[in-house]
Structure 1
Amino acid sequence: MRLRSTRDLCISVLERDLGHGLHLDRHEQAGHDVWGLVDACLDSPGGIHMLLEAVETFHRGSRSVRALRALVEELLPEPLLAGGERQELNQLVQALERQGLSPFQTAALPLLYQHAVGPVGPPLGLEVRGVRDIIEQLEEMPLRTDGVAPLLVFVNHLAGYARGATATAFGEWTIRFAERSGLSAERLRRLPRILEPAAPSLDPESDAYLVIECRPDGADPDRFEVTAWLQPAGRPAVMLHCDEEPLPPARLPALVEALLARDGRVVARENPELTIEFVLPRELLDQPFDQFKITIAGVRRRLGVEYPVVLRSMDRLRGGAPWHSWRAKWRRLRADPAGATVHRIAEPGGYDDELLFTLLSEPSSVGLAMAFPPGRGGTGRVDELWVGLQAGMPVAVWCRDGGASGRFADEVRALLESDLPSLPRKVRELRREAVLAQGAQVRAEAMAGQEAVAVGAGAVPGAGVEVRRTEEHVGSHLALLYDDADRFPEVYEPLRPPA
């Protein structure tokens, strides 16, 4: 390779076979130029083997080329991809990029990588600029403990982004590579795919779900391990946050604000409608999560006014309450909402446990409405809500504050007479009414003050104006447990010794 023209031709063949350009600095001196070419090939997966093939094309049978091949086979492992496979995969990636990746899909690429390498796999490199860089890093990784190449898992996930002929070509490439790797077609079909192609009938206006789980910390009962997922409609969840440091409840609003305002996967989600779900233990169910104050783009607002905010039972999702009756009642609610019933209880202790369980176990019973909050504490105390969870009811609504319980009966009657599947949005409307009522109260008090100043101390402030104080509006104190039995948030456990 003393002649520069020979080296130029070799580089041209290499870049064609690799499917991308080589990052190398050219030198006038032949030795330095060849050294730079070898370094660039060492940095590219399979590059040295492809360089050897290119050199053999021009110098087949040469003694020095045979010595070079023996050296490469001794020092370097066989590349995962053959030259043609790598070239075809690069072409598929280029076709996928021409189709365009949404901001959500781009932001989710590290998740696809993490699923491919597993929980103890090496972290993704800091200089990753796109799909091709991830593929190059995966190509140099050994097989997983289940005998599957991480690259195959990643490409199988990646096929969920593709459309039309590109999706078909990704599938065919995956099948061929799996067969060459000794992986059966049945085993390939069982590989999980995080992102499936969107079904043509998928409603683009359907909800995405931001799920936030607060798991009690065993060492400190006042702190919680917080995990957050984004679950686009009809697709598996994407983990957003999994912190091993337990947090006090007071720090939750800041975390929620960061997810909504600064996490690109949430901001650029494909589904514009977003429902926020808090998966909570019993001791947190009566906390006012919907009243969290968050500031986004300088505008302060209450979480439950902008988004439907619902609660989910951690005890049920994690196996502390029966699933079969829950799923049966949920199917009944979805199939026949008009025929579903919600039992109303005005005061705690109105039913003994056996009677209430029997009432709520009726097939048509799907919910419970309480004018009082559930009992506090995770000490095993049995209260009405716990009996309802054991009976499998997916819906519960209650008033957190006794001061607003007088209006609860009227408001909840209107809620329950409407379509039950629309409860999260109906409850959000009541929370909005509460904020509007607060604004009306402030304006009325200001107007009354102005009238008092104008006509003297004997004036009747705000005469003729009916004012309903915010703390008396049930919308500020309404909690909704709405447990969707069709969606099970994934369990993400922090790694613990000896992992």
Structure 2
Amino acid sequence: MAADGNREVTGVEGRSPARVRNELVAEVVDVLQDSPTMRHSTSADLLVTMLGQELGHPLELSRSEMLRPWLLQLVEQCARFPDGLPCLVRCLGYVEQQSTGVTTLQRLVDEWEAVDFFDGTDVRSLRPILEEMRSSVALTAMVRRASRSRIQELPPWCDTGWAIFLRLAGDNSVAGELPVSMAFLSLAAELLMEDGNARVAEQLRRWNRRQAGIWGLEDQMAEWQRTDVIRPSLSPVPAYLMIQFEPDGVDPDRYYLSHWLAHWRPSDAAGWHPLPGETLHLHRDELRSKVEQLVEQTEERWWDLRQPVVLEFILPWELLNEPVEWWHKEADSASPIPLVMDYAVLLRSLERLRRVAWHRPWHNRWRQFKEQPADSHAYWNHPGQSHFHLERELKEDERAVCLVLSEPPNGESSSSRQEFLAALRAGIPAMVWHRSDCSDPAFKEAVADIVQDRGLSGLLERTTRWRREALAMGPEGWDDHVGRHLAILLDDPDRKPGPPPSARAPVPR
């Protein structure tokens, strides 16, 4: 997207804008030619149909015996739509997931949008310098500074300074500020100077000064250079590491482990942008150690993050009672610590996430919970109550947003399954239980505090306080404290991960 629609196109040094565009089209076609999806007519036709549906306009392509002319037609038609090329890559990703070709195309689409943003200016002259910048820690910190913390994470294919610059150039800039991509270049030059690479640092600065002059941004450039060292204040909005376990569907002891890194962006109307990581196929016995690795890798990636971090486990029915908040960090050390010492830990239901027919009541209850917390309350279920009447009463009581379970979710207990199912179908977003004995008087005392009458807005904070009391007793004594056995499910329908990589999870019956 261009920063100024009235700007004159001046031509790229040695290459006209039309030539630059055509070269990028040819590179996109090169990648598509190697795609197994595009080499087979059936899968290619399916992709074109999906593409037309997403664009809201069917694509009219003339069949050719040769693949390349047909692909050129496809790319040219997509390029006429504002979101056409990103949509093409998305649809190919539905079929091939994160194949090498999809990743390459994502980088090319970012370059296409950067060329459009800087139309008439040679961006490829920056490539040899920025491609050598590969420190993920330093680059992530630079992105946050350049965007004034509006951008916290970037897609996984942004693994060099060049890929990041292209991605940032395609983003909208805030009126009155230096474009984020140019602020990033300024920081890149600063880093190169610190590393003793004064000559290439000056090339970036010269390019930036020239572009600021073309766009009349000299004042914004000067303002940025005066203020870019100011650190953002501590944000109360947390960052999230979302970890999902999905049953294999064939082998009951194997699971797909997926994860997402996510932030709320208050300045962004969409707000929520989870970025997916790699999906792994693991034996159940491997889940703990892999979660430990994910947490450590996330801490390394977020080393300069100033806001709190929340861990969310999206669990299927059979793992719902697993005490994941007490799994360890640094288990190979002499003094491993439980996750709950460093993080607020929440549970979520994989079955609800996948069963879209349950989402309308879920959204309605969540609005009640967020907009009128003082008028919301918990419902205490009692052992032996009919699950039919439990669901009926929950659905009649629109202010009930939290269910205190009468027994822990047990994979082999039909009554606990029916109780949980009643809550899901009624849209109840929060559930609390004791991991072994929901009739324990200490549990009832703790829950009375957690779901107290003054409202449920502090549900997570009060649960965390009870867990900290258990932690204070140390490993030798915390098993005797109720905080060690508290489980809380808190499902926010506005905070969903990305599309699932594999088959739908089974629904508890």
User: Post-superposition shift, 1:207?
Assistant: 0.8
Q: Say whether residues 1:257 and 2:292 are aligned partners.
A: yes
Q: What's the counterpart of residue 206 of structure 1?
A: 237
Classify the secondary structure of the residue corresponding to 1:329.
helix
Q: Say whether residues 1:279 and 2:314 are aligned partners.
A: yes
Classify the secondary structure of the residue corresponding to 2:251.
coil
- How far apart, CA to CA, are the structure 2 residues paired with 1:256 and 1:221? 19
- In structure 2, do the counterparts of structure 1 residues 89 and 129 end up closer, same or farther at CA, with 3 Å as the change threshold? same
Classify the secondary structure of the residue corresponding to 2:290.
helix
- How far apart, CA to CA, are the structure 1 residues paired with 2:304 and 2:170? 18
Q: What's the counterpart of residue 355 of structure 1?
A: 389
Matching of residues 107-126 of structure 1 within 5 Å: 108-111=153-156
Among 270, 275, 289, which residue is 1:238 paired with? 275
Q: What's the counterpart of residue 215 of structure 1?
A: 246
Larger of the two Rg values belongs to structure: 1
Aligned-pair Cα RMSD in Å:
4.3
- In structure 2, do the counterparts of structure 1 residues 269 and 276 end up closer, same or farther at CA, with 3 Å as the change threshold? farther
Deviations 1:413-456, CA, capped at 9 Å, x for gaps: 011116523322322221221122246xx5xxxxxxxxxxxxxx
Whether contact under 8 Å (2:168, 2:181) holds in the other structure is no
Q: Say whether residues 1:103 and 2:141 are aligned partners.
A: yes
- How far apart, CA to CA, are the structure 1 residues paired with 2:120 and 2:493? 43
- In structure 2, do the counterparts of structure 1 residues 381 and 92 end up closer, same or farther at CA, with 3 Å as the change threshold? same
Whether contact under 8 Å (1:371, 1:408) holds in the other structure is no
Classify the secondary structure of the residue corresponding to 1:383.
helix
Specify every segment of 5 or more residues in structure 1 that has no aligned partner in the other structure, as ranges. Answer: 1-15, 20-44, 47-76, 114-127, 136-153, 171-200, 443-468
Q: What's the counterpart of residue 406 of structure 1?
A: 441
Q: What's the counterpart of residue 65 of structure 1?
A: none
- In structure 2, do the counterparts of structure 1 residues 208 and 18 end up closer, same or farther at CA, with 3 Å as the change threshold? farther
Classify the secondary structure of the residue corresponding to 2:374.
helix
- How far apart, CA to CA, are the structure 2 residues paired with 1:288 and 1:255? 16
- How far apart, CA to CA, are the structure 2 residues paired with 1:376 and 1:133? 45
Matching of residues 157-168 of structure 1 within 5 Å: 157-159=170-172, 164-166=177-179
Classify the secondary structure of the residue corresponding to 1:85.
coil
Classify the secondary structure of the residue corresponding to 1:111.
coil
User: Post-superposition shift, 1:372?
Assistant: 2.5
Q: Say whether residues 1:17 and 2:13 are aligned partners.
A: yes
Deviations 1:101-142, CA, capped at 9 Å, x for gaps: 5438489555355xxxxxxxxxxxxxx64126985xxxxxxx
Q: What's the counterpart of residue 225 of structure 1?
A: 256
- How far apart, CA to CA, are the structure 1 residues paired with 2:470 and 2:180? 49
- How far apart, CA to CA, are the structure 1 residues paired with 2:323 and 2:299? 27
Tell me the TM-score normalised to structure 1 length.
0.57
Specify every segment of 5 or more residues in structure 2 that has no aligned partner in the other structure, as ranges. Answer: 1-11, 16-22, 25-71, 77-110, 145-151, 184-231, 266-271, 504-509
Q: Say whether residues 1:130 and 2:161 are aligned partners.
A: yes
Among 425, 433, 436, which residue is 2:461 paired with? 425
Q: What's the counterpart of residue 335 of structure 1?
A: 371
Whether contact under 8 Å (2:243, 2:314) holds in the other structure is yes
- How far apart, CA to CA, are the structure 1 residues paired with 2:357 and 2:411? 18
Aligned pair count? 330
Whether contact under 8 Å (2:288, 2:327) holds in the other structure is yes
Whether contact under 8 Å (1:92, 1:169) holds in the other structure is no
Whether contact under 8 Å (1:104, 1:270) holds in the other structure is no
Matching of residues 38-53 of structure 1 within 5 Å: none
- In structure 2, do the counterparts of structure 1 residues 161 and 405 end up closer, same or farther at CA, with 3 Å as the change threshold? farther
User: Post-superposition shift, 1:401?
Assistant: 1.4
Whether contact under 8 Å (2:314, 2:349) holds in the other structure is yes
Tell me the TM-score normalised to structure 2 length.
0.55
- In structure 2, do the counterparts of structure 1 residues 273 and 168 end up closer, same or farther at CA, with 3 Å as the change threshold? closer
Whether contact under 8 Å (1:278, 1:310) holds in the other structure is yes
Deviations 1:38-71, CA, capped at 9 Å, x for gaps: xxxxxxx79xxxxxxxxxxxxxxxxxxxxxxxxx
- In structure 2, do the counterparts of structure 1 residues 164 and 101 end up closer, same or farther at CA, with 3 Å as the change threshold? farther
Regions of 4+ moved over 3 Å: 16-19, 77-82, 88-95, 104-110, 132-135, 154-163, 167-170, 263-266, 268-271, 296-299, 377-382
Q: What's the counterpart of residue 496 of structure 2?
A: 488
Matching of residues 248-327 of structure 1 within 5 Å: 248-263=283-298, 266-268=301-303, 270=305, 272-295=307-330, 300-319=336-355, 322-327=358-363
Q: Which amino acid aligns with 1:239?
A: P
Whether contact under 8 Å (2:238, 2:263) holds in the other structure is yes
- In structure 2, do the counterparts of structure 1 residues 331 and 433 end up closer, same or farther at CA, with 3 Å as the change threshold? same
Deviations 1:340-372, CA, capped at 9 Å, x for gaps: 11111343x2x1122101221121011101252
- How far apart, CA to CA, are the structure 2 residues paired with 1:167 and 1:129? 16
